Amino acid sequence: MTARRRLTSRVLVLDEDDRALLFLTKGSVPAQATRWITPGGGVDPGETHHEAACRELFEETGMVADDLGDPIWSYDFSVDYTGGDHDTGHAEYFLLRTIAFTPSQLNWTQSEHLDVLEHRWWTLEELRRTEDPYDPVCLPDLIARFVTARTQGQEPHDG
């Protein structure tokens, strides 16, 4: 059987206090764990990662961003549950700095209304201390890169 690969684009949204906007999702298949994730989702056919990131950000938060710049990080992963529509994936992450806001559900898909349980702005320390699952597992380290870079006056622009 041929491996099924899914391309995704995600946005690390950080507010003025370096808190990250995360969504608690229960997953689209029963075997997929409930976990905290950044806004984002699949890249549609004919779409670039950047276009998908902007679209997903708007759909999931109501935030309009025409230029998120270059990806800040990417990774390839294997799916650790059965029943999904893919076995492997490639994710590209983008960064958006903004003031804290309440995400809008106005543009959510039907499945997002079922799968998204809540949203929350997390501090780095809260994320490091929680026993709640989040994805990817290195999310606190990724956030720390940008918290440290901002406090030193220069954010990295590549992953």
**Do 12 and 20 form a contact (C-beta atoms < 8 A)?**
yes
Q: What is the pLDDT of residue 3?
A: 60
User: Quick one: DSSP state of residue 134?
Assistant: B
Which residues are CB-neighbours of 56 under 8 A, at least 6 positions away?
9, 10, 11, 39, 40, 41
Please state the φ and ψ torsions of residue 20, each to the nearest 5 degrees: -100, 135
> What is the rounded CA–CA span in Å between residue 119 and residue 70?
25
Q: How confident is the model at residue 87 (pLDDT cuts 50, 70, 90)?
A: low
pLDDT interval class at 4 (50, 70, 90): confident
Q: What is the predicted pLDDT for the residue at 21? A: 98
Residue 86: pLDDT over 50: no
CB 89 within 8 A of CB 7: yes
- Which pLDDT score, from 0 to 100, does residue 153 have? 72
The CB density around residue 24, as the number of other CB atoms within 10 Å, is 17
In the chain, the amino acid numbered 87 is D
Radius of gyration of the chain (CA): 15
Global pTM? 0.87
Instruction: Answer whether 99's CB lies under 8 Å from 13's CB.
Output: no
> pLDDT-based confidence at 2, cuts 50/70/90?
low
- What one-letter code names the amino acid at 102? T
The two tokens of residue 22 are 């995360």
Q: Is 118 exposed, middle or buried (0-12, 13-18, 19+ CB in 10 A)?
A: exposed
Query: Which pair of structure tokens corresponds to residue 152?
Result: 């030193």
Strand-pairing partners, residue 93, are 10, 73
Give me the pLDDT at residue 95, please.
97
- Of 82-86, 98-102, 151-155, the one with minimum mean pLDDT is 82-86
